[in-house]
Amino acid sequence: MKKKIIEKIKNAPLKPGVYLFKNKEKKNIYIGRAVNLRHRLKNYLNPTDPRIKKMVAEADDLIIKTTKNLLQAIILEANLIKKYEPFYNVKEKDNRSFVYIMIPKTKWSYPKIIRGRELNKYLLSDAFVFGPIKSYSLAKNFLFLIRKIFPFSTCRLNQSRPCFYFQISLCAGKCVGKISENDYQKIINAMIDFLNGKMRKVKKFLKTYYPEKLSFLDQIDDTALMVKEAEINFQQRIEAYDISHFGGKQTVGSLIVFENNDFNPSCYKRFKIRNALAHDDLSALKEMLERRFNHPEWGYPDLILVDGGRTQIKVAEEVLKEKKLKIPVIGIAKFKNDKLIFGKNIKKSVKELLETSFDTLRKIRDEAHRFANSYRKKLMRIKNLYSL
């Protein structure tokens, strides 16, 4: 590998973006994206894949472009691949797991995810096609975020009552006549502009029709997109736990759930600690986790977050071992500043991913803390009422 490429990798920003490897003829031979450019590019310093080894040997230069978030990196990567058709990306597209987002040019259309092998079923003149995207899960999460900005409709026309997605602001209201066909098409056109990276047009559209969604463009949380980036699916479920008491009395525990890139209060659980001694937060945490995992019907999380450091993580891992469950555990410890602590058997790539999502994880921890405190205060009010 050329020294100038090595230097660029070592000094790459710790930000989302895309990277372009070029050969001696200045042609793009491979284009990729990353949630953390430096961490991803370091993998190219000692590649094990023969195809990547060959590509790196041919590379004569490296261009790095940062983006505000992973969503924009995915859009930029797909559009650059479509524009330049780099040799090693084209070879990669033979992979049958690649998917595309297709929007038919029909009335009341909406985006659909299709496999690469299904492309020949559609005339490109009759549909807008965006991609390739490297996995179905990533495409699904991608569309979920887009729908928060552009509320497309997958329901039927003229229904007697609004669909579920309309009730949570993810449908424009085609089902109950809340939007005309012409105005709905404006949403779809703006979505296509977004997928083409035409952000000025998108911002103009949102400013005119959906000003309340304008700020979402800069606040998009990467967590919901990081499904295959590090082999952990945040889209499904994160559970966070916290213990609260008042001077050792009224000890309670909270379980809160974060999934689909948002909190899910319908799955929150409260625990009144029964057996742990006063001020024994570790025993209280153990009791709560044991009781929680006696309920397989609640489903299991993909990641557990505890309020604390290695000691709290160890307690959680011991309970999981007893229950014969393999779920990664992390904690946020309070030092001078909050610090992210990792449990056992968490891959380096996952650690890097979690570190870049620390602000989101802190918000999840704070929500567990709030929910535990609210329950403890409620019990104290009830106790004080009966003591009068």
Is the pLDDT at 236 greater than 70? The verdict is no
228: in domain: no
Query: Which tokens go with 15?
Result: 């930000």
How many domains, in total, are found in the chain?
A: 3
Number of Cβ within 10 Å of residue 214's Cβ equals: 14
84: in domain: yes
Answer whether 59's CB lies under 8 Å from 86's CB.
no
Closest CA to 18 of 45, 42, 41, 1: 41
Residues 379 and 266 in one domain: yes
Answer whether 62's CB lies under 8 Å from 9's CB.
yes
Residues 207 and 325 in one domain: no
SS3 category, 184: helix
Residues 6+ apart with CB under 8 A from 342: 313, 330, 351, 354
| pLDDT for position 230 | 39
Answer whether 238's CB lies under 8 Å from 305's CB.
yes
Closest CA to 195 of 135, 261, 127: 127
Is the pLDDT at 130 greater than 90? The verdict is no
Number of Cβ within 10 Å of residue 223's Cβ equals: 23
| pLDDT for position 144 | 84
Write the pLDDT tens digit of every residue in 281-337. Answer: 999 999 999 999 999 888 888 899 999 999 999 999 999 999 999 899 999 998 667
Taking the model in full, what pTM does it have?
A: 0.49
| pLDDT for position 78 | 85
Is the pLDDT at 224 greater than 60? The verdict is no
Among the residue ranges 81-90, 231-240, 377-386, the one predicted with the least confidence is 231-240
Percentage of the chain lying above the pLDDT 70 cut? 87
Residues 109 and 125 in one domain: yes
Query: Which tokens go with 222?
Result: 């990467």
| pLDDT for position 299 | 82
229: in domain: no
Residue where a domain terminates, one of 70, 92, 114: 92
Residues 249 and 379 in one domain: yes
Q: How confident is the model at residue 227 (pLDDT cuts 50, 70, 90)?
A: very low
Q: Of 223 and 21, which is predicted with more confidence? A: 21
Residues 6+ apart with CB under 8 A from 31: 18, 19, 20, 21, 77, 80, 81, 84, 86, 89
Residues 263 and 378 in one domain: yes
Is the pLDDT at 22 greater than 50? The verdict is yes
| pLDDT for position 310 | 94
Residue where a domain terminates, one of 92, 117, 138: 92
Residues 291 and 343 in one domain: yes
226: in domain: no
| pLDDT for position 40 | 86
Q: Which domain holds residue 82?
A: 3-92
227: in domain: no
- Cα 45 from chain centre: 27
Write the pLDDT tens digit of every residue in 50-63. Answer: 888 899 999 999 99
When computed from its CA atoms, the radius of gyration of the chain, rounded to whole angstroms, is: 24
Among the residue ranges 112-116, 166-170, 226-230, 334-338, the one predicted with the least confidence is 226-230
Q: How confident is the model at residue 233 (pLDDT cuts 50, 70, 90)?
A: very low
**CA 14/CA 34 separation, integer angstroms:** 10
Residues 50 and 121 in one domain: no
Number of Cβ within 10 Å of residue 185's Cβ equals: 14
Establish whether the linkage from the previous residue to 132 is cis, with ω within 30° of 0: yes
Residues 59 and 118 in one domain: no
Q: Characterize the bridge pairing of strands 303-307 and 329-334.
A: parallel
| pLDDT for position 369 | 94
**Averaged pLDDT for residues 358-371:** 90
Closest CA to 152 of 131, 169, 177, 128: 169
**CA 370/CA 273 separation, integer angstroms:** 17
Is the pLDDT at 25 greater than 90? The verdict is yes
Residue where a domain terminates, one of 169, 192, 220: 220
Residues 125 and 180 in one domain: yes
Domain of 317, CATH number, reads 3.30.420.340
Residue with tokens 């213990």: 243
Residues 208 and 305 in one domain: no
| pLDDT for position 350 | 72
Residues 83 and 148 in one domain: no
Residues 120 and 75 in one domain: no
Among the residue ranges 75-89, 177-191, 209-223, 350-364, the one predicted with the least confidence is 209-223
231: in domain: no
**CA 153/CA 147 separation, integer angstroms:** 9
Closest CA to 298 of 361, 252, 256, 331: 256
Domain of 22, CATH number, reads 3.40.1440.10
For the chain, give the mean pLDDT: 84
Query: Which tokens go with 208?
Result: 């005119």
**Averaged pLDDT for residues 214-227:** 58
232: in domain: no
225: in domain: no
